[in-house]
A = this chain, B = another copy of it.
């Protein structure tokens, strides 16, 4: 198995991408191709004393920046590391692609270069978010600000495959993020999605109210990318805000600091539970091969995790599981089984 890795993506490239690739190669024995500016990569590797043995390099002269328009990956930046990596994925020179670069460019590039699965309208950018009872997958979190009902059903099917194959959850519960539980709640998007979900090959549990989502009411929460991005970022913001407030309480006086010492282990456990970098990067689902968007601020360890995640996606056959479910759905629809 070979993971194609965008060595130029993210705030900390290429030093941290080089370190992360080395760690992943040593730990998981997976073959890795670093895509990027070859002279720079070999120079930085030498400077950091990183042994490149077992790490291939594919030269790409440019890189896409956060300021570039997403479509630049197809045009003026067609020779960037991200585009080159995706072409390698398309031609079968590797089994999965990992990048911490420009998210919009990755969505466009992966869709247009690596290609979508049959019947998939739009690829979904997804994220696994911790909850009180474990974690749930949220789809879409921003690749598609506006969605049609069929897309949300596909997100449910793809998210189920991911949660089953990667997180080991049998028959993941799929819910629609909504403003009430009754079938008529929300806008026409949620109402129509509700109707279509009932005929889809997944474990549909109905609407998921936002107040119940952090308690794990569903294992897969589907919504348009606008709503999903709001949910993802509000979760991040509130967790940070509340953690800060609790910290203030704990560090208020010498006495409270002493009190805080008694619960240092517990607070560490809580922090770890809420830390979603442990779930790796954001999988882009609906493509012909696994593509992982690593966080822009990833360091070596986060890159190592993202490479492991890509490896697990390949090993556990997430893509073929999605393909099978999509085929089943098409067949049902052809038989008029979707109502």
Contacts and interface: CB of A to CB of B under 8 A. Distances in A.
Interface of A: 131-132, 142, 145-146, 177, 179, 186-187, 209-215, 225-227, 229-246, 248-250, 252-253, 255-256, 258-263, 266-267, 269-270, 273-274
Copies in the complex: 2
B229 A179 contact: yes
20 contacts: A132-B241, A132-B245, A145-B187, A177-B230, A179-B229, A210-B229, A210-B232, A211-B240, A214-B240, A215-B237, A215-B241, A226-B227, A227-B227, A230-B231, A231-B234, A245-B274, A249-B263, A250-B263, A256-B262, A258-B262
Contacts of A266: 248-250, 252, 256
Contacts of A177: 230
State the 7 A-B residue pairs at the shortest beta-carbon distance, nearest first: A259-B262, A249-B266, A211-B237, A259-B259, A210-B233, A211-B233, A179-B229
Contacts of A209: 233
A242 B132 CA distance: 8
Given A233-B210, A234-B214, A263-B249, A226 B269 contact: no
A185 B218 CA distance: 29
A210 B226 contact: no
Nearest to A230: B210
Contact of A179 (B233, B259, B261): B233
Contact of A186 (B226, B235, B252): B226
Contacts of A252: 263, 266
Given A179-B233, A231-B234, A238-B242, 11 more contacts: A145-B179, A209-B233, A211-B236, A211-B237, A211-B240, A227-B227, A242-B242, A242-B243, A249-B267, A250-B263, A250-B266
A237 B249 contact: no
A214 B238 contact: yes
A136 B237 CA distance: 15
B256 A226 contact: no
Contact of A238 (B239, B245, B246): B239
A214 B231 contact: no
A212 B233 CA distance: 8
A25 to B, nearest CB: 34
A232 to B, nearest CB: 8
Contacts of A236: 211
A269 B252 CA distance: 12
Nearest to A267: B249
Contact of A263 (B232, B241, B259): B259
Contact of A234 (B145, B213, B244, B250): B213
Contact of A145 (B186, B242, B258, B260): B186
A28 B224 CA distance: 47
A212 to B, nearest CB: 6
Nearest to A261: B259
A119 to B, nearest CB: 25
A177 to B, nearest CB: 7
B227 A210 contact: no
